[in-house]
């Protein structure tokens, strides 16, 4: 579903005829999501407030990307101390590109959730995080989870935002495709 949201505005490459090695594209009744993703012209030096991309009028800035990636890139740099610098730089660029694509996808999901008037309460988010913490081996409390996240340089607020987005997406999918989301014991 995330891939559909992020790729729905992309144009398919024209071909001269059907490819016998590829199955015919599946037909769906769903309307494509209209998006307006505008990359900003690259600049040689980016500041913290520079806009990387605009998604339907919402700017995603270099600072937002840096804040999201800081703990991950620091950990990668420590783990990869013996790797060639070119390889490390290539991995960091890959991580940054994937994170930016993820931020675009999350923005599109948030917009769809808002359009569908779906609300995810703080209690639902806290309940889901508590449930996830209880599933750990051994189970941990909410306070222990927060402390562990801080030790790894992660933010509990980021986790809450991610869980809120995930729950919103689950509700959206359940609302748009109620017959396709039924889970049985089998």
pLDDT higher at 163 or 47? 163
Give tens-digit pLDDT for 99-141. Answer: 999 999 989 988 999 999 999 999 999 999 999 998 988 999 9
Helices (H), the chain: 2-7, 62-79, 85-115, 122-134, 142-151, 156-176
Output the pLDDT for position 48: 58
Tokens 């992309």 found at = 10
Q: Which two tokens stand for residue 115?
A: 């359009």
Over residues 58-73, the mean pLDDT reads: 86
Question: pLDDT tens digits for 13-56?
Answer: 333 444 444 444 444 455 555 555 555 444 334 555 899 999 98
pTM: 0.61
């Amino acid at each position: 579903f995330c891939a559909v949201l992020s790729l729905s505005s992309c144009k398919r490459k024209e071909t001269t005829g059907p490819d016998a090695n590829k199955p015919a594209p599946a037909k769906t009744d769903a309307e494509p999501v209209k998006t307006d993703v505008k990359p900003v012209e690259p600049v040689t030096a980016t500041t913290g407030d520079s806009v990387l991309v605009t998604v339907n009028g919402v700017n995603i800035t270099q600072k937002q990307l840096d804040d999201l990636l800081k703990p991950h890139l620091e950990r990668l740099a420590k783990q990869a101390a013996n790797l060639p610098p070119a390889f490390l730089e290539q991995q960091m660029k890959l991580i940054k590109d994937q994170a930016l694509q993820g931020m675009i996808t999350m923005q599109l999901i948030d917009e769809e959730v808002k359009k569908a008037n779906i609300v995810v309460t703080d209690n639902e988010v806290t309940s889901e995080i508590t449930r996830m913490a209880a599933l750990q081996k051994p189970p941990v409390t909410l306070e222990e989870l927060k402390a562990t996240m801080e030790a790894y340089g992660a933010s509990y607020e980021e986790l809450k935002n991610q869980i809120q987005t995930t729950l919103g997406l689950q509700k959206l999918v359940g609302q748009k495709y109620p017959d396709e989301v039924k889970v049985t014991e089998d």
